[in-house]
Structure 1
Amino acid sequence: MPARQAVTGRSQEPRRRFTEELRSLRTERGESLRKLGDALGWDASLFGKMEKGETLGGPEVVEALDQHYGTPGLLLTLWELALGDPTQFREQYRRYMTLEAEAVSLWHFAVSVLPGLLQTEGYAREVLTVGGATGADLTQQIEARIGRREVLDGDNPPQFRTILSETVLRTPLRDAVAWREQLEHLAAVAERPNVVLQVLPNGSGLHGLVSTDVMFLRLTDGRTVAYTENAYRGELVEEYGHVEPLQRAYDSMRDLALPPAESRKFIGQILEEVPCDPLT
């Protein structure tokens, strides 16, 4: 068995520890990525991405690597730890926030919850509370989320398109007053010249992003990156080969959405269903 790499302060982070071990085992054998790919039957680019931390791969490929290197169970254990590494989510999210502030245009799809750029304080409070935030941490997260709206409020705001699943608009807050305020804010934002808002009716059927919230950012250098997210983790996708299929799925799904004018009417209809006086 190859000598184990010493655990340093840096490599105690599970995801980084996993990628370091992969790279160390391959280089100690003197194998190229191409030779490794030929030996195991996977494309060499997959192993390159795993060593860079761009993807963790699946259990089948990790088990095959364990067998190839004679490290039974080692890589699979590191892989399992890396899957649950919360630092990776935070690092990717911080980088995403930096890119969002620099983007020249943004386009987005929401499965069940409004994007942070469109949330009112009441909406953000309920969403974050459901996610487990409390006390001072809740207050800080609300302030940070509301602060993100400045991206669309500046003197020269970027173009922003959002497509909201009908589910987003059919899932009210528990606080009827806060829900009305959120819908009114949404209707006002939809009138801005730099914002295009569309609603995807539930009757549109299945599509390629049926379970994926995604935000695309067009950067100043012409690149497009994507950030996909669910309730528990998010992933910053920067490689063109992974962003492009997401864009194709988005374009196909956009063709199913209501036009902007009809979407604004749809929001108005939802708003009419919310009582002005919640006690009634």
Structure 2
Amino acid sequence: MPQRRLVTSRSQEPRQRFAEELRKLRALRGVSLRQLGDRLGWDYSLFGKMEKGETLGGPEVVQALDQYFGTPGMLLALWELAMGDRTQFRERYRQYMALESDATSLWHFAVSVLPGLLQTPGYAREVLAAGGLKGDELEQQVEARMGRRELLAGEDPPHFRTILSEAVLRTPLRDPTQWRQQLEYLLEVGERDDVTVQVVPFGAGLHGLTNADVMFLRLPEGRTVAYAENGYRGELIEEIAPVERLQRAYDSVRDLALSPAESRKFILRILEEVPCDPST
């Protein structure tokens, strides 16, 4: 039986399909990239990158495009499909890693898991195993994650600030010994001049970063990019307006956080609650 031919000439790859639809809709509306940017309030270069498939943008800009073009929900659905493509996720993460190695300072917020830069081998192994890794692949990823810690251990490391939701510290490892080692390492690293650790207690209430981890990278040329992720996908954000909105949310969270000194006391209290190893 002959293979059935596709009737449509549109791309079947989610990211390319999303870019194609954006180009087609703008052409039908008869507006330039600059006019589109002026009317929606985003830098027009963002739309150019989205139409080339260089970036997917964020949900806010896609929703605005859906409204402008009169395609309620269509573009957002295509965007979600493109975001779910694992090949593109890995590529975006590789881009992020390259930028991270060049950053002059890093600011981070964690919802439920410690940042990789501060993880011990035991913590990294349990987190990665929970994500489905096992065997040689698991050990390779643990080793790779430990290699990332060297970023903060060089002669001229970037300044690193992490703000941890209390949930991070209330989610222990299964092995109390490994959990104790992780908390001790967190306290140790927090003593470095170039590392700042703060905690947002549950009592601070809801805030603008409740649902996602985010990392801001200050690059040598002066610009700042962000990488936001949840348990299923991540997005490298380079456009000025979305990054600034995230930064404002981050500043608000920092205002809610305990001071570094009070945060250290908080972590010490958590450490005191961890059962001691009966063999010691």
Of 86-95 and 23-32, the range deviating more from structure 2 = 23-32
| 2:211 partner amino acid | S
Separation in structure 2 between the aligned mates of residue 78 and residue 124 of structure 1, nearest angstrom: 33
Structure 1 contact 93–236 (Cα < 8 Å) conserved: yes
Task: Kindly report which structure 2 residues correspond to 1:1-280, keeping only aligned pairs within 5 A, or say none.
Answer: 13-23=13-23, 26-27=26-27, 31-33=31-33, 45=44, 48=48, 50-52=50-52, 53-55=55-57, 58=62, 61=65, 79=79, 81-277=81-277
TM-score (norm 1): 0.83
Provide the aligned C-alpha RMSD in A.
3.1
The one-character-per-residue Cα deviations of 1:111-140 (angstroms, maximum 9, x if unpaired) are 111000000111011111111111222112
The one-character-per-residue Cα deviations of 1:61-111 (angstroms, maximum 9, x if unpaired) are 5598587xxxxx8x7885564242112211111011001010000111111
Structure 1 residue 206: deviation in Å? 1.4
Of 105-114 and 44-53, the range deviating more from structure 2 = 44-53
Gap change, CA 1:50 and 1:269, over 3 Å in 2: same
Structure 1 residue 239: deviation in Å? 0.9
TM-score (norm 2): 0.83
Separation in structure 1 between the aligned mates of residue 200 and residue 35 of structure 2, nearest angstrom: 47
Could you list the runs of 4 or more consecutive aligned residues of structure 1 that deviate by over 6 angstroms after TM superposition? 34-38
Of 25-34 and 91-100, the range deviating more from structure 2 = 25-34
Gap change, CA 1:243 and 1:30, over 3 Å in 2: closer
| 1:228 partner amino acid | A
Gap change, CA 1:126 and 1:78, over 3 Å in 2: same
Which residue of the partner structure matches residue 70 of structure 1? none
Separation in structure 2 between the aligned mates of residue 104 and residue 183 of structure 1, nearest angstrom: 26
Structure 1 contact 165–202 (Cα < 8 Å) conserved: yes
Does the residue aligned with 1:148 lie in a helix, a strand or coil? helix
The one-character-per-residue Cα deviations of 1:10-35 (angstroms, maximum 9, x if unpaired) are x6542023213432565588653467
Which residue of the partner structure matches residue 3 of structure 2? none
Separation in structure 2 between the aligned mates of residue 250 and residue 79 of structure 1, nearest angstrom: 25
Structure 2 contact 83–233 (Cα < 8 Å) conserved: no
Unaligned runs of 5+ in 2: 1-6
Separation in structure 2 between the aligned mates of residue 213 and residue 220 of structure 1, nearest angstrom: 23
Structure 1 residue 190: deviation in Å? 0.6
Of 19-28 and 219-228, the range deviating more from structure 2 = 19-28
Structure 1 residue 157: deviation in Å? 0.8
Structure 1 residue 147: deviation in Å? 1.0
Gap change, CA 1:204 and 1:279, over 3 Å in 2: farther
